[in-house]
Structure 1
Amino acid sequence: MASFVPDGKLRLRDYQENAVSQTWDWLCANDGAPIIEAPVGAGKSVIMAEIMRQACAEAPDTRILMVTHSSELVQQNYDKLKVLWPDAPAGIYSAALKRKEIEAQILFCTIQSVYRMAYRIGRVHLILVDEAHTIGRKEKTMWGRFLTDTRIVNYDHRMVGLTGTPWRLDTGSLIDGDDRLFHGVSYRIRMIELIERGYLCPVVSQPTGLRIDTDGVRKTAGDFNMGQLSGRVDDVIEEAVDDFIQRGHDRRTWMIFAPTIENAQHIRGAVESRGIGCAIVTADTSSDERNAILSAMRAGTLRSAVSVGTLTTGIDVPPVDMVVALRPTLSSALVIQMIGRGMRLSPDTGKTDCLLCDYAGWLMKHGPVDLIEPPPRKGSGPAPTKQCPECETLLPIHVMDCPTCGYAFPPPEKEKARLRASELPALSTQAEEKTIKVTGVTYSRHKSRKGKPDTLRVTYKSMLSDFSRWVPIGHDGPAQFMGKKWWAENRSPEISGPAPYTLDEALSRTNELRQPAEIVVRMAGKYPEIIKVNHHEHA
């Protein structure tokens, strides 16, 4: 999370210091509540602890609440504050932890224990919400009642949310919509940056010949129907267990995710019948049993555990070096959280990476874990559209014949039940790069939506397919610099003078651009990314 200096005090990492200072800047410059976006392993507990310490240093009577959904997170965050600030006037209010210190100046609590307690808690200046994506938009919830009552008691309090996944499956981004609880991002640290700087463990995947078939499974409450999904998972368990045992023979600690308790029991039985220890953890597992299982996994005396609806946040088992995906889901946030269980560093166990055995199609559905983005909020924004590849007319997604040019869209391909579970990269930096010979290039105006300026569409043609990029010519702000930079990099060296000021001017001057010989394309995410253009030397 952070490091210690010789005097025994905790020293924050540079990005943790930036998260604290930029959040204070945001609060001073804006009304509302910001989000600190930081993935698993970034040290959110350290960031919160430093915010608390600085708040009380500035105003000694500051009353602070740290609220979350998990008693494990309450204990972890409380412990981290005590390491950073041993004399902190802090207490805990959590039934699961058997502590009810409601008068504490800095109160760490679970929402389940305090949602009726806003009036008893009284004066509050600052609320920190860990795992803020667990807050729903509906008012008739524990969070809704607590935050409504808190606003009545404390009209001028401020709130800061922390999460690695600032969105929910059913309502999209936490900072969008008139009924949003958060109003901007005060600081963001990317997962890939933490990996590259050695603060997180990379994830790797291997192609397998097995995938759970979700074709035709109903959707319930925004995700797959558990009753139907359970049967599909059961169909592949025996084969999957044989496969991941073989793949994980040199892996120390395995975390397996399943949709139902029945699936988990089947998985545990199959694993144990092959001579390997396996436990089950559900939301109903007692705290003592849960702690015993996780302690055994940390110590290396238990090799595997199956999680059902839990162990996705607030769990710190660094030795986990294999994650087994047997729980298909439509929730991109849940995928990040489940993969994240294997991304903590564990140098004492010799861990260098985490293997993802993706039988659930997580990468196929959501893409590399560091590129996963929030889904659009339901009922907001324009209806989904697609573009005709022949005449570029924007059409409703269901139209199969373009009324402008007559182009017939091919019918969608139906997935086979047993596609390869994971031939996609777990991280964008692992994506395959291909060099493709360019047979021609075209330049055209791309009509932008939502009132944004049009862009220059550059289409590189090859023998097999076309690849496009969109260049912001004549835009304002940072985009203007990007457009000028692209023009300078692609213009013939014999031509001097300024880049075009407008898109119309650019289209009239495309003869100044060099002819591309080949492009380098990275096959990651939903669309190929053009990362380099090589030109003919004498074009």
Structure 2
Amino acid sequence: MRPTHFLAGPRTRRTDRRGHGRQHRDLSRWRQAVRGRRMQVKLRPYQQESIDALFNYWGADGGNGLLVLPTGAGKSLVLAKICQELLQNWPSMRIGIVTHVKELVEQNAQEILRLWPSAPIGIYSAGVGRRDLRSKIMFMGIQSVHRKVQQLGKFDVLLVDEAHLIPKNSDTMYGRFIADCLEAVPDMRLVGLTATPYRLDSGRLDGKGGMFDAIVYEANVRDLIEQGYLSKLISKATLAQIDTKGLHKRGGEFIQSEMDARARIPTIIESAVGEICEHGEHREGWLIFCTGVEHAADVMAEVRKQGITCETVTGETPKGVRDRIIRDYKAKKIRCLTSVGVLTTGFNAPHVDLVALLRPTLSTGLYVQMVGRAFRLASGKLDALILDFAGNVTRHGPVDAVAPQRQGGAKGKKEKTDEEKEDTVRAKVCPACREYNAIGAKSCVVCGYEWPPEVAPHKPEAEETAILSTEAVKPQMIKVQSVRVRRHKKPGSLDTFRLTFETWNKSYSKWLCFEHGGRMGHEARMWWKGMGGNTPAPSTIAEALERFDAEIGECVGISVRKNGKYHDILSMEFEPGPWIGHPRVVQEKPDPFAGAGGWEHNADGPFGGAYKKRPDDYFSWGKKPADPTAGMTEDQKKVIPKIEALFAKTIENGCTPQEQHLAHVKANQLLGQYSLERLGTGQIVIYDEIPF
């Protein structure tokens, strides 16, 4: 028998046996439906651990306990097993289970019948269409019973499913109902089951000022994913972002009307839906959370434009229509749902493998609940993708390491302002694969990219440096003096789009693959949109070259990381287009090595062919002559000494910083004018290809 101190003595209470029997007959339809698919129910290890933890807590004279289990972890089965063990050990006990939506009332009732077909259950829920009163185990909808405690009778244990919905204010449906139950049975125990141990509107559920005395058991999201009980989640930083700067707050959340106005900007909706369609091309169940009813309708219309089946479910959707839409969605007749509020809890669709957040929130609980819709396992589902267009991941952190704001502050500490809370960063984006990582991560959990130590190299000029670890310092960018773009050709592969960024002493290159399929082509299109280019993005190199100056503005700077003998460009910052200045597109020229004495392609060479010198064949495969001026025009050769003289004007050689700057700007202009480039070694060569 369970060691439960507060339940030590059996209670004596008159029971309406006739009513109880009548409810059994009325529920025969439910029992037959469950009996038809009855199977052996076996608890997962963490589910059994949570139940043991609760009874041990009670055995130590504990009070109201909270069980924290992620969405998809099987809270309904845990709840059913608690009820079964209580009644098998204390037959005179009476148990109440209360929640907020009819779907959960039905789901919980069906789960206990699957575990225990003869369970003495009753249901009081207008949504379900039942008003049972005297069963040993009562499943109830809070909207139907919050003023009905006298009719329902006393409860020894009250379990609240989705306990995070219990408001802090006691003058609410939950507050009044729980208070009335405690008035009837002062030593009644309250049990909460939730995926988020903090309210959607304010503060934690446990501890000082909370409804529950302690978290009795908490399952770790990461552990359950690794053990195969939850679906793996992946994320990508999105290019489209809803701007939340300056939004006012009320009751700890963004004001809905202001948030809705920002989210309904047509270009934001168009760009966001474009990214959703690209990322979700091979995904089956899309779920998009929106800011309001009109926003959800706008997003639905844009999704339909892309040829995707989509419907909207909101609090205004009629019950029959809503049931039909959800039924069709679960049957995969509908690929995408846009929603406002109603699908954040109690919605069980295991095939959801893409969740898009177009709804900013300051509520950590709401954030976890929205993302949690993707946790459930399904046949053929390898993972689920989270696309955050509202800064929620950065604001709250990875879903397995969220850090909700506590109400108030420690004694002697100044509480953060709303602006400081909004600017708090709890996640960062991997520059290599755009996956979200915990703010303290040293390497990316997906691609293994390692963030460099946050120690800036010494430079002779003054720079912004933190004197304390708590002082924020903005990332440093390398200033770009000019940009050139051209078609990059490589034998045996598709052409690429090459950008070259000239700084005061070095050039850096990046290649984009507009004509490639799959991930590389997708990344090129996402780059174009991210740099301010119009949509749709170019699909060919020729189109990208033609549109570049008209749509992509001035490059402000780049951030680079050394990788072997080359540098990786981690990020770029462009001003909005168009570009006003000399053309940055380098026009294609005839092959200077073609013809007698030039280079020819030999298809029999290693690696599928290479260039070799003609007519004499003394160069090895793929290598060019040692003379860097080979193939240059006379004008290019003549200008090289002038460029070298300009680059020689440095502070070390006695020039002022301004003289050095002006000289290097002029040198880079000449490089671009004559289609030359300066390598890291200082050697000046034809602006040509680096192996890609």
TM-score by length of 2: 0.56
8 Å contact from structure 2 (residues 164, 200) kept in 1? no
User: Do structure 1's residue 381 and structure 2's residue 410 form an aligned pair?
Assistant: yes
Residue of structure 1 equivalent to 2:135: 104
Q: In the TM superposition, what is the alpha-carbon distance from 1:169 to its structure 2 partner?
A: 4.5
8 Å contact from structure 1 (residues 204, 426) kept in 2? no
8 Å contact from structure 1 (residues 64, 106) kept in 2? yes
Query: Distance between the aligned counterparts of 1:191 and 1:365, measured in 2?
Result: 19
Where does 1:481-500 land on structure 2 (aligned, <5 Å)?
none
Give 1:225's aligned amino acid: I
User: Do structure 1's residue 37 and structure 2's residue 68 form an aligned pair?
Assistant: yes
User: Do structure 1's residue 315 and structure 2's residue 342 form an aligned pair?
Assistant: no
SS in 1 for 2:238: coil
Q: In the TM superposition, what is the alpha-carbon distance from 1:126 to its structure 2 partner?
A: 0.8
SS in 2 for 1:203: strand
Query: Distance between the aligned counterparts of 1:423 and 1:260, measured in 2?
Result: 28
SS in 1 for 2:178: helix
Residue of structure 2 equivalent to 1:339: 371
The 1:273–1:114 alpha-carbon spacing in structure 2 relative to 1, beyond 3 Å, is: same
Query: Distance between the aligned counterparts of 1:437 and 1:311, measured in 2?
Result: 42
Q: In the TM superposition, what is the alpha-carbon distance from 1:185 to its structure 2 partner?
A: 1.2
Q: In the TM superposition, what is the alpha-carbon distance from 1:143 to its structure 2 partner?
A: 1.0
Q: Aligned residue pairs: how many?
A: 409
Give 1:181's aligned amino acid: M
Residue of structure 2 equivalent to 1:163: 194
User: Do structure 1's residue 47 and structure 2's residue 78 form an aligned pair?
Assistant: yes
Residue of structure 1 equivalent to 2:107: 76
8 Å contact from structure 1 (residues 201, 354) kept in 2? yes
Instruction: Give CA deviations for 1:260-289 in whole Å, capped at 9, x if unaligned.
Output: 001011111111122211111112323332
Q: In the TM superposition, what is the alpha-carbon distance from 1:7 to its structure 2 partner?
A: 9.3
Query: Distance between the aligned counterparts of 1:214 and 1:435, measured in 2?
Result: 27
Q: In the TM superposition, what is the alpha-carbon distance from 1:147 to its structure 2 partner?
A: 1.0
Q: In the TM superposition, what is the alpha-carbon distance from 1:373 to its structure 2 partner?
A: 2.6
Give 1:175's aligned amino acid: D
Segments of structure 2 that go 5 or more residues without pairing to the other structure are 1-36, 418-422, 426-430, 456-464, 470-692
SS in 1 for 2:436: coil
The 1:250–1:19 alpha-carbon spacing in structure 2 relative to 1, beyond 3 Å, is: same
Residue of structure 2 equivalent to 1:495: none
8 Å contact from structure 1 (residues 363, 424) kept in 2? no
Residue of structure 1 equivalent to 2:92: 61
SS in 2 for 1:280: strand
Give 1:356's aligned amino acid: I
Instruction: Give CA deviations for 1:464-494 in whole Å, capped at 9, x if unaligned.
Output: 98998xxxxxxxxxxxxxxxxxxxxxxxxxx
SS in 2 for 1:67: strand
Residue of structure 2 equivalent to 1:425: 436
Which of 214, 237, 256 does residue 288 from structure 2 map onto? 256
Which of 214, 218, 223 does residue 193 from structure 1 map onto? 223
Query: Distance between the aligned counterparts of 1:355 and 1:375, measured in 2?
Result: 26
Residue of structure 1 equivalent to 2:337: 305
Q: In the TM superposition, what is the alpha-carbon distance from 1:374 to its structure 2 partner?
A: 2.7
Q: In the TM superposition, what is the alpha-carbon distance from 1:436 to its structure 2 partner?
A: 5.5
Where does 1:351-500 land on structure 2 (aligned, <5 Å)?
351-377=381-407, 379-382=408-411, 384=413, 423-425=434-436, 430=445, 434=450
Query: Distance between the aligned counterparts of 2:106 and 2:406, measured in 1?
Result: 34
SS in 2 for 1:370: coil
8 Å contact from structure 1 (residues 367, 424) kept in 2? no
Segments of structure 1 that go 5 or more residues without pairing to the other structure are 1-5, 386-395, 399-411, 415-419, 440-463, 469-539
User: Do structure 1's residue 326 and structure 2's residue 342 form an aligned pair?
Assistant: no
Q: Which has the higher contact order (CA 8 A, sep 6+)?
A: 1
Instruction: Give CA deviations for 1:109-130 in whole Å, capped at 9, x if unaligned.
Output: 0111100011111121111111
User: Do structure 1's residue 151 and structure 2's residue 182 form an aligned pair?
Assistant: yes
SS in 2 for 1:108: strand
Give 1:147's aligned amino acid: I
Over alpha carbons, which structure has the higher Rg? 2
Query: Distance between the aligned counterparts of 1:121 and 1:7, measured in 2?
Result: 30
State the 4+ residue runs in structure 1 displaced beyond 6 angstroms: 426-429, 464-468
8 Å contact from structure 1 (residues 23, 186) kept in 2? yes
SS in 1 for 2:323: helix
> Which range is displaced more, 160-169 or 255-264?
160-169
8 Å contact from structure 1 (residues 368, 424) kept in 2? no
Q: In the TM superposition, what is the alpha-carbon distance from 1:220 to its structure 2 partner?
A: 1.9
Q: In the TM superposition, what is the alpha-carbon distance from 1:380 to its structure 2 partner?
A: 4.9
Q: In the TM superposition, what is the alpha-carbon distance from 1:438 to its structure 2 partner?
A: 10
SS in 1 for 2:411: coil
SS in 2 for 1:124: coil
Residue of structure 2 equivalent to 1:487: none
8 Å contact from structure 2 (residues 167, 201) kept in 1? no
Give 2:347's aligned amino acid: I
Instruction: Give CA deviations for 1:322-341 in whole Å, capped at 9, x if unaligned.
Output: 11110011011111111111
Query: Distance between the aligned counterparts of 1:436 and 1:240, measured in 2?
Result: 31
Q: In the TM superposition, what is the alpha-carbon distance from 1:175 to its structure 2 partner?
A: 1.1
The alignment-based identity, stated in percent, is: 37
SS in 1 for 2:359: coil
8 Å contact from structure 2 (residues 396, 404) kept in 1? no
The 1:215–1:100 alpha-carbon spacing in structure 2 relative to 1, beyond 3 Å, is: same
